Amino acid sequence: MTDNTTKTNLLGMSPEQLDAFFAEQGEKRFRATQVLKWMHQHGADSFDEMTNISKVLRDKLSKVAEVREPEVVTQDISKDGTRKWVIRIDGGSCVETVLIPEGDRATLCISSQAGCSLDCSFCSTGKQGFNRNLSAAEIIGQLRIAIKSFGPMDPAGPRRVTNVVLMGMGEPLMNFDNVVKAIILMMEDNAYGLSTRRVTLSTAGVVPAIDKLREVTDVSLAISLHAPNDELRDVLVPINKRYPIKELFAACHRYLEDLNDRRVITIEYTLMSGINDQVVHAKELGKLLKTLPCKLNLIPFNPFPNSGYERPSEAAIKAFKDIMLKAGVLTTVRRTRGDEIDAACGQLVGQVEDKTRRSQKYIPVVQESTAEVVKSL
Ligand code: SAH
């Protein structure tokens, strides 16, 4: 039983699961809270570090359990302070995590899957195909790794990560259970203690999962919209064919109704030159967004090799933003960060062992034609 593979990894367990684990071991419940704090507030990697637990119990735990976070392959720090980690998960694929400091905030962008099954036409993660869902330990492990990069974890010290966004690789709502477990740990007082406003889950619009989400958490919600109508969205975000904009917005309304505060949905809209950045798109988007309490985040397209898409000019971005503001939509433009370490949205490439064989099919000519189809709409 001392073999690593047979030990239970406690890192991704929710507080309830940890309680149950200690109950099974015939131990008191407060032990679970102690271990939770050691793992997530002090960054302990072994039971030996947990000094308020008896040696006997520590030895017993070491035989059956472990605290194991995924392996860091590389850490890069950009001139603007952005940090990026390449993280290897069991099975060999790699995912990426990015920390973006801005004033007194530091936002961590976390991955939830190795690759992605949704195949949005302008996203480099989608082009790599899909390998597997990350475990809860692999998701929460990214937060621990980021905090630890500043030195030993200290719950009394300054907060190194103030906000978390599930906007890295993967579609979080396609990995529902593990993502929810990790979110619960992010918000749990005995773990990371982040408020609901400081944790945001971004989805391309898996409608039934949005409804399930509001039953179990009140995390803030972002929607990757990218088009003002179904015709265009069907091409850019193929899951729209299953769950069109009207159904998606209805789910957003239901989600907001359940939050008992004045939070709104964040709408993400990646601007691509000649595709969705024209005056007519802006006007249509303005009308559409008046139907939902939301704020708009415009993301100028981040190029990657052979994407077939281009970033609009600064003038076009500003013109689009001005139309949105005139329409009364609270609009911001996401500044690109960490450019020299390829840490921007849609540039997270990781290293996915594609099980769908989609990456083999990805040749530039296919992509060009997607852009052509969109232009002809
Ligand atoms: N699957 C989830 C989480 C990924 S979030 C979702 O779709 O919301 C990553 C965000 O960056 C999404 O809004 C995505 O559409 C956007 N994005 C993807 N590729 C991009 C690119 N090349 N340039 C700019 N934004 C991109």
Q: Tell me what pLDDT residue 368 has.
A: 47
Q: Tell me what pLDDT residue 8 has.
A: 96
Query: Is pLDDT at 327 greater than 90 in this prediction?
Result: yes
Which positions ≥6 away from 238 have C-beta within 8 Å? 118, 119, 120, 121
Query: Is pLDDT at 280 greater than 90 in this prediction?
Result: yes
Helix count and strand count (H, E) for the chain: 13, 14
Query: Is pLDDT at 338 greater than 70 in this prediction?
Result: no
Cβ of 95 less than 6 Å from ligand 1: no
Of all protein residues, whose CA lies closest to atom 1 belonging to ligand 1?
171
Of all protein residues, whose CA lies closest to atom 26 belonging to ligand 1?
346
Higher pLDDT residue, 365 or 7? 7
Residue 90 and residue 84: Cα distance in Å, rounded? 20
Average pLDDT over residues 206-215: 97
Average pLDDT over residues 329-336: 91
Q: Tell me what pLDDT residue 367 has.
A: 44
Of all protein residues, whose CA lies closest to atom 5 belonging to ligand 1?
167
Other C-beta atoms closer than 10 Å to the C-beta of 187 total 18
Residue whose CB lies within 8 A of the most ligand 1 atoms, among 200, 202, 235, 298, for a mutation test: 202
Catalytic residue annotation: 96, 345
Residue whose CB lies within 8 A of the most ligand 1 atoms, among 110, 210, 252, 268, for a mutation test: 268
pLDDT > 70: percent of the chain: 89
Cβ of 346 less than 6 Å from ligand 1: yes
Of all protein residues, whose CA lies closest to atom 20 belonging to ligand 1?
346
Condensed to tens digits (0 to 9), the pLDDT of residues 79-122 reads: 889 999 999 998 889 999 999 999 999 999 999 999 999 999 99
Q: Tell me what pLDDT residue 376 has.
A: 59
Split at pLDDT 50, 70, 90, the class of 346 is low
The one-character DSSP state at 111 is -
Condensed to tens digits (0 to 9), the pLDDT of residues 184-210 reads: 999 999 999 999 999 999 999 999 999
3-state SS of 202-218? EECCCHHHHHHHHHHCC
Average pLDDT over residues 38-55: 97
Q: Tell me what pLDDT residue 145 has.
A: 98
Q: Tell me what pLDDT residue 364 has.
A: 41
Split at pLDDT 50, 70, 90, the class of 267 is very high
Split at pLDDT 50, 70, 90, the class of 315 is very high
Average pLDDT value for the chain = 91
pTM reported for the whole predicted model: 0.92
Split at pLDDT 50, 70, 90, the class of 363 is very low
Q: Tell me what pLDDT residue 354 has.
A: 75
Split at pLDDT 50, 70, 90, the class of 351 is low
Find the 291 Cα to ligand 1 centroid distance in Å.
23
∠ CA 14-258-140, nearest 5°, is 25
Q: Tell me what pLDDT residue 361 has.
A: 55
Cβ of 201 less than 6 Å from ligand 1: no
Q: Tell me what pLDDT residue 366 has.
A: 41
Q: Among positive and negative, which fits the CA dihedral 120, 121, 122, 123?
A: positive
| 79: exposed, middle or buried (Cβ count in 10 Å: 0-12, 13-18, 19+) | exposed
Average pLDDT over residues 152-172: 95
Find the 91 Cα to ligand 1 centroid distance in Å.
25
What is the DSSP annotation of 2-59? -SGGGSEE-TT--HHHHHHHHHHTT--HHHHHHHHHHHHTS---SGGG-TTS-HHHHH
Of all protein residues, whose CA lies closest to atom 13 belonging to ligand 1?
224
Cβ of 123 less than 6 Å from ligand 1: yes
